[in-house]
Every structure is written in structure tokens, then in C-alpha cells.
Chain A
Amino acid sequence: MTVSSRPGQHFTNTARQAVFILMISLFVGAAVNLIRPDSIPFVDSWSMAEKLATENGGTMAISLSEAATLFEKDAAVFLDARSPAEYDQGHIQGAVNLPWHEVDNYFETVIMALDPEAMTITYCDGEACTLSHDLAALLKDLGFTRVKVLVNGWTLWQERQLPTNAPSS
């Protein structure tokens, strides 16, 4: 072994071993997913529009302008699916807090008080936030007939400078 080849040898080993480790992970990961009962598809589309698609080909998503119109007419109930702490920092004016992660605790106080026939719009924050459509799906299962999701609601609402309830300080 010559002196000059030592670092070279190390880097060749590094690359070879790294490729081995990657290949083992790839193989085992794929094999385990093939045999386990709760496997997931190797490729999934993960698009928000698809997640909100309803069985009859429609969508649960509502645009900001539609939501704003309903808000002005006072024709919809807004449900904030975020945590109480986030809700306290500010929310759509008049929105009711129904945190998805604690939804069981709010069942009697909030959900039972809602009108299942009324237009109901759920929202949370961020393009990828799924709290609002988890909540919307639950409400649909409970028999709510007109449930919509305002995707990325809190951010869009603020950007458009629509009425909010500021944090209570």
C-alpha cells in the first residue's frame, strides 16, 4: 500500500459500503412492504385535489372567494380544526374551534350544537394541513350534508385581509 493510495482506498471503501447499505435498505424495505398486511402503495399521487374528491366526482374544496361570499351573507359556519392555542392566536371572525386532535372532547359541546343541514366550512393552516379534511370527513360520516374544506384557509383569509378575531390579550 503506497502512501498516496491511502485516502483513495478509504473513499473507494466508503462509496462501495454506502452503495451496499443503500441496496440492502432498498431491498429489505421493498420486501417487507410486499409481505406485510398493512402495506402502502409504492407510488401514490398525494395530491390535495384528489384527497378532497368525493365519491360522486365532486370536490369538498371551496374557493376563498366562495367562502368569503358565504361569510358576508352569514350563510356558513366556520370550523377551525387547529389546536386551541393556535385558535387563540387569531382565527376567522366567528369561527368555532373544533381541534381535530381533541375532537372527542368537543363532541358534546360543539358538534352536537351544530346544525347538520347548515353550510359548514372547515379550515386549518398550510397547503398540506390535513386537519380540516379529516374533520370534514368525520362530519360527513356523522350526517352533515353540506361540508366544505377551505384549503390553507387561515393563511389565505389573512392575506385577503378578511375579518378575523385577533388574539385576546
Chain B
Amino acid sequence: MPQKKISHDVILTILYHFTRLVMAGVFIYASIDKIIHPDLFAEAVYNYQVLPGYLVNLTALILPWLELTLGTCLLINRWMAGASALAAMLMALFVGLIIFNLARGLDISCGCFSTAPDEDPVTFLTLARDLVLLCLAWCLAGLTLYQNIRRYQPE
């Protein structure tokens, strides 16, 4: 029995670090082009047509840094509770927005990893990719919760 428990823990730890590093890479990579081109990213945000005009630039200025900051937290394994929860919420938001705009039939660029207007159109493939990332993000948030709770357990 103890052996089984150990292997179970090892798998969870590996899964935790795997999802942590994947999500770190995704968020950091996604932030870079947006930080370099705030004007183009603002256009991508505007094209989603969900925010009032006065919030478009603010979102375009803050969101990439949020992605970079939480990606860095995930990478260095610090503030994992907050970073993993934010990652899970952001991914849920992104998936929601993609579904919303696919349903509306809006032909827009994703602005997910690149700000170039015609490089990254929103398709069902985008949705599939983001659903996988959403699963990983939720998995990571769950594993972080599990680890934090276990840490306080006696023995």
C-alpha cells in the first residue's frame, strides 16, 4: 500500500510540474508580441467587440503584462495559488470569448499569440487548442490546491 501511495504522489508531482511549465511557456510566449506591439494588440482587442471603447487600450496595455507576470510566477514556482487560479480564470475567459465570437460568426484575428492581423484567425482549431490549454490550467489549479492542502496535513 505505501508503495502505491508513493507512485501516486510521484505521478501527481510530475503532472504538477508539467502543467506548470507548459502554462508558463504559453503565457510568457503569448505576452511578448503583445508587449512589443500595444497598438496592434489594442486593435485585436477592439475587434472582439466585447469591451466599451474606453477600456480597449487599458486592456491592451495591462493584459500582456498580466500574462507575463503570472507566466513568470508559474515558471519560478512562486505564488502558485494565485498564479494558477488567475491562469485558470484567464483561460476560461479566452475560451468564452472565442466561443462567443465563433457563434456570432465574426471573422476576426485571435490576437492570442501574434498581433499580426491576418496571421492568427479565430477558427474551431483555435477553440480546440484553447480548450486543451483550459484543461491544463484547471488541472494545475486543482493540483496546486491539492498540494497546499496536503502540506498542512500532520505526518
Contact = CB atoms under 8 A, between A and B. Distances in A.
A35 interface: no
Given A40-B42, A128-B108, A14 B69 contact: no
Contacts of A6: 148-149, 152
B57 A42 contact: yes
Contacts, number: 110
A44 B66 contact: no
A129 B39 CA distance: 16
Report the interface size class on chain B. Answer: 35 or more
Interface in B106-134: 106-108, 117-118
Interface residues of A, number: 42
Nearest to A131: B117
A41 B54 CA distance: 10
Interface of B: 35, 38-39, 42-43, 46-47, 49, 53-54, 56-58, 60-62, 64-66, 68-70, 73, 79, 81-83, 85-86, 106-108, 117-118, 145, 148-149, 152
Interface of A: 1, 6-7, 9-10, 13-22, 24-26, 28-30, 32-33, 38-47, 83, 86, 101, 125-130
